[in-house]
């Protein structure tokens, strides 16, 4: 019974972790390569979910919806970079916070104007409904496994891209020394636009998949944004590997705390009180993790920059 619970909760933690990774991967690239604090990254997550829902119902297929939403949001991301973010590279972090705070408001309101304030409920494709036995006697929803697999596949693809391709080489050059990369002939402007679009696309993928587990609603991006920032800082700004390790770590710690704390506290107090305290402590655990990691390694687990 206990083993079953541990395995199931472990999978839940991993699944949450890969969603965080997809968000954090884009964020850490924008942060590390472009040195921009991008608060509106959550908006791409939200738009990915809304477009998946809309296009999915239009074409009567969730997967087509998702497949169309990702490039659409990537294009929106590139447009945003071209119009606004580009002007913020040489500026203080504070100006970036202000501008992207404004962008959040704009995107939230635009989405509200188009889709309304009520949540939309997305269902996973029928082919992925139902459960599979991951181990004898341990059924697990197939769709959640699919999310997990998709996230890990993207992580592998990203790693290959960064190590093996020209774009990846430029990215690494840009991340470690922007001025030098520019001097060596890397078209920094174009590189940044591509990075931004890539990040937006990954966020859209995360949003489109999370929309089926949560619900598609205005403001959904903000709740995951802050956690994604935590992941980025834990992993080390600019490091994809750090983002993956950080995301899995955060996902597992969060799920573990959410499962274990109520049980531990219930012996000491009434159910509703115990659950309330447990919820607050487990939400805190992730931030505590970040503070501890920073105390140990001020630049994060795999961080190169300050």
Site for other proteins in 194-233 (CB under 8 A): 213-215, 217-219, 222, 226, 229-230, 233
Residue closer to other proteins (CB basis): 185 or 298: 298
Span near other proteins by CB under 8 A; candidates 45-53, 64-72, 239-247, 275-283: 275-283
Residue closer to other proteins (CB basis): 66 or 227: 227
Cα distances (Å, whole numbers) of residue 28 to 18, 64, 132, 234, 291? 15, 28, 34, 11, 18
Q: Which of 57, 59, 71, 91 binds other proteins (CB under 8 A)?
A: 91
Q: Which of 60, 94, 136, 268 binds other proteins (CB under 8 A)?
A: 94
Q: Please give the residues from 135 up to 164 whose contact with other proteins meets the rule CB under 8 A.
A: 139, 141, 143-144
Say whether residue 267 binds other proteins (CB under 8 A).
no
Question: Contact at 8 Å (CB) between 167 and 161?
Answer: yes
Contacts 24+ apart (CB under 8 A), 65-74: 65/208, 66/205, 66/208, 66/209, 69/204, 69/208, 70/201, 70/204, 70/205, 70/208, 71/201, 72/204, 73/44, 73/47, 73/48, 73/200, 73/201, 73/203, 73/204, 74/197, 74/198, 74/200, 74/201, 74/204
Residues near 86 by Cβ (< 8 Å), separated by ≥ 6?
189, 192, 193
Q: Please give the residues from 18 up to 57 whose contact with other proteins meets the rule CB under 8 A.
A: 31, 37, 39
Span near other proteins by CB under 8 A; candidates 5-13, 56-64, 200-208, 243-251: 5-13
Q: Which of 60, 113, 179, 267 binds other proteins (CB under 8 A)?
A: 113
Which among 43, 14, 48, 58 has a CA at the least distance from the CA of 150?
Answer: 14
The distance of closest approach from Cβ of residue 59 to other proteins in the complex, given in angstroms and rounded to an integer, is 19
Residue closer to other proteins (CB basis): 135 or 184: 135
Count of residues in contact with other proteins, rule CB under 8 A: 84
Say whether residue 4 binds other proteins (CB under 8 A).
yes
Say whether residue 99 binds other proteins (CB under 8 A).
yes
Q: Which of 63, 82, 119, 167 binds other proteins (CB under 8 A)?
A: 119
Q: Which of 104, 181, 186, 248 binds other proteins (CB under 8 A)?
A: 104
DSSP of 120-155: B-----GGG-SEEEEETTEEEEHHHHHHHHHHHHHH
Residue closer to other proteins (CB basis): 30 or 186: 30
Say whether residue 98 binds other proteins (CB under 8 A).
yes
What's the token pair of residue 176?
């470690």
Burial (CB count <10 Å: 0-12, 13-18, 19+), residue 224: buried
């Amino acid at each position: 019974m206990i083993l079953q619970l541990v395995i199931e909760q472990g999978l839940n933690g991993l699944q949450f972790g890969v969603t965080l990774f997809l968000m954090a991967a884009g964020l850490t690239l924008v942060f590390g390569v472009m040195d921009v604090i991008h608060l509106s990254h959550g908006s791409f997550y939200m738009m990915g979910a809304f477009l998946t829902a809309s296009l999915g119902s239009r074409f009567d297929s969730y997967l087509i919806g998702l497949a169309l939403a990702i490039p659409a949001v990537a294009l929106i991301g590139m447009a945003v970079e071209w119009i606004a973010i580009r002007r913020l590279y040489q500026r203080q972090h504070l100006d970036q916070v202000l501008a992207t705070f404004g962008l959040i408001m704009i995107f939230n309101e635009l989405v509200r104007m188009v889709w309304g304030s009520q949540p939309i409920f997305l269902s996973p494709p029928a082919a992925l409904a139902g459960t599979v036995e991951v181990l004898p006697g341990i059924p697990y929803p197939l769709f959640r496994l699919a999310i997990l697999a998709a996230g890990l596949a993207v992580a592998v693809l990203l790693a290959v891209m960064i190590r093996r391709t020209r774009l990846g080489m430029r990215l690494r050059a840009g991340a470690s020394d922007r001025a030098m990369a520019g001097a060596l002939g890397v078209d920094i402007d174009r590189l940044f636009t591509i990075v931004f679009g890539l990040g937006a696309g990954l966020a859209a993928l995360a949003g489109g998949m999370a929309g089926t587990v949560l619900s598609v609603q205005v403001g959904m991006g903000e709740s995951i944004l802050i956690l994604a920032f935590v992941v980025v800082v834990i992993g080390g700004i600019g490091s994809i590997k750090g983002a993956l390790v950080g995301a899995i770590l955060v996902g597992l710690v969060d799920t573990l705390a959410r499962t274990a704390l109520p049980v531990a506290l219930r012996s000491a107090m009434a159910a509703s009180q115990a659950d309330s305290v447990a919820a607050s402590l487990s939400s805190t655990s992730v931030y505590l993790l970040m503070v501890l990691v920073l105390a140990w390694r001020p630049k994060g687990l795999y961080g190169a920059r300050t």
